[in-house]
Structure formats: structure tokens, C-alpha cells
């Protein structure tokens, strides 16, 4: 259903702005009034990464008057495959600053406000206050739930997007606009179990997929700001890039929702890291006292080479990751083999006296695999904190990072 525009029109457009936005002005649904609403709008984009890049560029090009950028990270070379707001010369630069500079080249009439701190419970309400709309380009569940809850408490609609490999999703959560409008918790009441859904850093993402979903987010933002069309309120857009297929599903408000339901139990910001959990409780227990550093591993590998130590080093990443970089002397047994029990057949027996050392990219998946080993009686098994990322950064920078 259509909704009233979120923003009142600005007083007017300059001659230069009329020239710039002429292709908008001749669309009857937008026209002069709609463009003046965009000029008067204040939109916060969370993240200047895969989704934030196209959303920021198109919102700026469209003439959104004030754009906030909430981003604390720096540009890395691995970002450039999809984060098109940054370029090679921006590597090492703060993403927020890089994005601001790109926006200035796209549209000098846009005011950019930088929020270069990590969003958390202490600052999120202050950062959100004053914006008409939020575009959520975050890539982890803890932040998504925090964004949802803070936006709900402040009565600010927000446009959500998600990407993974070849699949994308987008929706608009706006309980403040309608009593029937769901929030993010209505769609996902609980986060997935820790380790169940890999991040883009672990599972990858097709770069151009970001443009498709980010453009949808930008489109929804413009529709909400100007009051045109039917936004994705109460609808989930699902995009399959491999099949080139778009589907829409109805998302209904959950009367039992912990946040926006009839008897809410979430009445303030909560501990989102604990709520989502980076690793399962079993993995955290297994890793306690059984985590070694990459410098310790380097020493152990030298001892094994000299014949004074015996252990097997197991990489639990996926085969395509193993092709990118690896710790010398490791063997590949993906985490899934541990979860289905097949890995135990490929390892020394519990009573062999050979220690098992696990690693992955960052330490999350290896902790999950470690929990399986501990449960199978491998009491002296350990895993490498920081994984191959720490190995490349601290021990062997000649290898590529990803």
C-alpha cells in the first residue's frame, strides 16, 4: 500500500539543481515537489561496503540533501571487487572518508555527515536521531537486530538488505508507518545458530549482486521519502542471480513479536552479541584453554620438522579457500566433515598420542570443529586463534589475504 511522504518539500531548487535533476522533474510522480522532498531529506546509510556503495551513490545522485554514513572500517583491497564507491587509491583510507569524497564527485549539492565509530548500544540512538530514514547495509546479525530495535524505539523506518554468494533479500521495516507493518524480528524472531550461516567474508559474494540489492534499497528509500509507489513494507523481495529470478513473499506482523507485538519483552536495547553469539556455547567452552597463537603454531611446526613433536594440522575451511592461501603442512578437512562425523575417520585415533591442531580463516569455524573433537574424546586438541588471517598478517605476509 502507498504511504504518505516522509519528508516535507524544501523551499525550492536552484537553477543548477533544476538542470541536474531534470530527468526526475519530468516524471509526473516525482516532479518538482518530489525533488524538493529529496533535497530536504536526511538519510543515514549504515555501512559503506557492498550494499552501502551503490545505495550511497544513487541516493547522492538522486539529490538526497543530507546523507549520513555510519562506517568505522578502512578500505581493503578485497573490498574493491564489489564496493564500487572506493577505488585503488583509497586502499588504507577510512571508508567513510572515501565514500564522502566519491559523493562529492557525484553531487556537490549533498551534505555528508560522517559517523566514524562502531555502532553500539551507547551511541546508536544518538546517531539515528534526526534522520528521516535509515538504509541498513550491515553484514552481521547482531548489528541488524540492534538497528531494528533502535529504529523501532525512535519511530524511524528503515530499508534492509542482505546478500550472500548469488542470493539477495530486501524489505522495508516501518512499524511507525502502519500498525500492520512488521519489523525485522517478525521476519527473523531468532538469529540462526552460531556458525550456521557464514558471513560474506567466509562464504563469498558475487560483486555485482551488491549493485542489484543496493539499487533496490535506494529505490525503496526514494519511494518512502517522496511518497510514490508501494514500498516493500510487509513484503520480502528475494533475488536469485543464478536463475535471474525475483520473488516476493508476504511478511506479516507477528502479534507475538518480542519487540512490536502485543506483549513486548524487548523494551530497550539488549546485549546483541550475546543474543546472536559469534560462536556456540559448546565452541566457546571447547576453545577455552585450548586456543593457541600463530606464533606458537610456527614454533610447533619447526619442532615437528625437527622430529621432536608430532601433531596433525587440519584446515577446516572450504577447498576454494584452501587454494587461495594456506598454512604450510596443513591438511584440508572442511568443517562440514566434522559436523557429519566423517572427519573422525580421517584423523589419528584418540589413543594414538598424535595431537590434532585445527585452524580456519579467523578461528570461528575451527572452534566449532574443536567442540566436535572434544566431544569425541580428543582432549588435547587445540585450535589456532585468528586462523590463516593471523598467519598471513603476523608470520607470512607474502601470501594473499582474502
Beta strands in 216-302 (DSSP E): 235-240, 245-250, 291-292
Distance CA 320, CA 360 (A): 13
Give the residue from 160, 200, 168 showing the smallest Cα distance to 184: 160
Give the residue from 135, 152, 134 showing the smallest Cα distance to 253: 152
Q: Where in the chain is the domain with CATH 3.40.50.720?
A: 15-276
Q: Which CATH number fits domain 281-394: 3.40.250.10, 3.30.70.20, 3.30.300.170, 3.40.47.10?
A: 3.40.250.10
Distance CA 121, CA 21 (A): 38
Give every CB contact of residue 66 below 8 A, 6+ residues apart in sequence.
41, 42, 43, 110, 111, 112, 113
pTM of the full predicted structure? Answer: 0.81
Quick one: CA dihedral 206, 212, 218, 224, positive or negative? negative
| Cα separation of the two ends of the chain | 43
State the pLDDT at residue 183. Answer: 98
Q: Where in the chain is the domain with CATH 3.40.250.10?
A: 281-394
Distance CA 200, CA 105 (A): 29
State the pLDDT at residue 111. Answer: 98
Residues identified as active-site: 200, 360
Distance CA 37, CA 133 (A): 13
Give the residue from 78, 87, 83 showing the smallest Cα distance to 51: 83
Please tell us whether the domain made up of 15-276 is placed in CATH 3.40.50.720.
Answer: yes
Distance CA 155, CA 176 (A): 5
* DSSP state letter for 280: -
pLDDT per residue rounded down to tens, the chain (402 residues): 789 999 999 999 999 999 999 999 999 999 999 999 999 999 999 999 999 999 999 999 999 999 999 999 999 999 999 999 999 999 999 999 999 999 999 999 999 999 999 999 999 999 999 999 999 999 889 999 999 999 999 999 999 999 999 999 999 999 999 999 999 999 999 888 766 666 667 778 999 999 999 999 999 999 999 999 999 999 999 999 999 999 999 999 999 999 999 999 999 999 998 788 767 788 888 989 999 999 999 999 999 999 999 999 999 999 999 999 999 999 999 999 999 999 999 999 999 989 999 999 989 899 999 999 999 999 999 999 999 999 998 999 999 988
Burial class (CB in 10 A: 0-12, 13-18, 19+), 268: exposed
Kindly write down the DSSP assignment for every residue of 105-145, as one continuous string: HH-TT-EEEEE-S---TTTHHHHHTT-SEEEE---SHHHHH
The SS3 call for residue 196 is coil
Buried b (16+ CB within 10 A) or exposed e, 341-375: eebbeebeebeeeebbbbbbbbbbbbbbbbbbbbe
* DSSP state letter for 1: -
Residues 384/316, Cβ–Cβ less than 8 Å: no
State the pLDDT at residue 194. Answer: 66
Distance CA 328, CA 89 (A): 32
Amino acid at each position: 500500500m502507498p504511504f504518505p511522504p516522509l519528508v516535507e518539500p524544501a523551499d525550492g531548487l536552484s537553477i543548477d539543481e533544476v538542470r541536474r535533476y531534470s530527468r526526475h522533474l519530468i516524471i509526473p510522480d516525482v516532479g518538482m515537489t518530489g525533488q524538493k522532498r529529496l533535497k530536504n531529506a536526511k538519510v543515514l546509510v549504515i555501512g559503506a561496503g557492498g550494499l552501502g556503495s551503490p545505495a550511497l551513490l544513487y541516493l547522492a545522485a538522486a539529490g538526497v540533501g543530507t546523507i549520513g554514513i555510519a562506517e568505522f572500517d578502512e578500505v581493503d583491497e578485497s573490498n574493491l571487487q564489489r564496493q564500487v564507491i572506493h577505488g585503488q587509491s583509497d586502499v588504507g583510507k577510512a571508508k567513510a572518508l572515501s565514500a564522502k569524497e566519491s559523493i562529492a564527485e557525484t553531487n556537490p549539492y549533498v551534505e555528508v555527515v560522517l559517523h566514524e565509530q562502531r555502532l553500539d548500544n551507547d551511541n546508536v540512538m544518538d546517531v539515528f536521531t534526526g534522520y528521516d530514514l535509515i538504509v541498513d547495509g550491515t553484514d552481521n546479525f547482531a548489528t541488524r537486530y540492534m538497528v531494528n530495535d533502535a529504529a523501532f524505539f525512535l519511530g524511524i523506518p528503515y530499508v534492509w538488505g542482505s546478500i550472500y554468494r548469488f542470493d539477495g533479500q530486501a524489505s522495508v521495516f516501518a512499524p511507525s508507518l502502519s500498525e500492520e507493518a512488521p519489523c525485522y524480528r517478525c521476519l527473523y524472531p531468532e538469529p540462526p545458530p552460531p556458525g550456521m550461516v557464514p558471513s560474506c567474508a567466509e562464504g563469498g559474494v558475487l560483486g555485482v549482486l551488491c549493485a542489484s540489492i543496493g539499487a533496490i534499497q535506494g529505490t525503496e528509500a526514494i519511494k518512502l521519502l517522496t511518497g510514490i509507489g508501494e514500498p516493500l513494507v510487509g513484503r520480502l523481495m528475494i533475488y536469485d542471480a543464478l536463475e535471474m529470478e525475483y520473488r516476493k513473499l508476504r511478511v506479516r506482523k507477528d502479534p507475538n513479536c518480542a519487540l512490536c507485538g502485543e506483549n513486548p519483552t524487548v523494551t530497550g536495547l539488549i546485549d546483541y552479541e550475546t543474543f546472536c553469539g559469534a560462536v556456540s556455547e559448546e565452541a566457546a567452552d571447547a576453545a577455552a584453554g585450548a586456543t593457541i597463537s600463530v606464533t606458537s603454531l610456527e614454533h610447533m611446526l619447526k619442532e615437528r620438522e625437527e622430529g621432536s613433536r608430532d601433531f596433525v594440522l587440519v584446515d577446516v575451511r572450504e577447498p576454494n579457500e584452501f587454494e587461495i592461501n594456506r598454512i604450510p603442512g596443513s591438511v584440508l578437512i572442511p568443517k562440514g566433515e566434522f559436523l557429519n562425523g566423517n572427519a573422525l575417520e580421517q584423523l589419528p585415533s584418540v589413543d594414538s598420542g598424535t595431537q590434532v591442531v585445527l585452524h580456519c580463516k579467523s578461528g570461528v569455524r575451527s572452534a566449532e570443529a574443536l567442540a566436535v573433537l572434544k566431544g569425541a574424546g580428543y582432549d588435547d586438541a587445540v585450535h589456532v586463534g585468528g586462523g590463516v588471517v593471523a598467519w598471513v598478517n603476523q608470520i607470512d605476509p607474502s601470501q594473499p589475504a582474502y
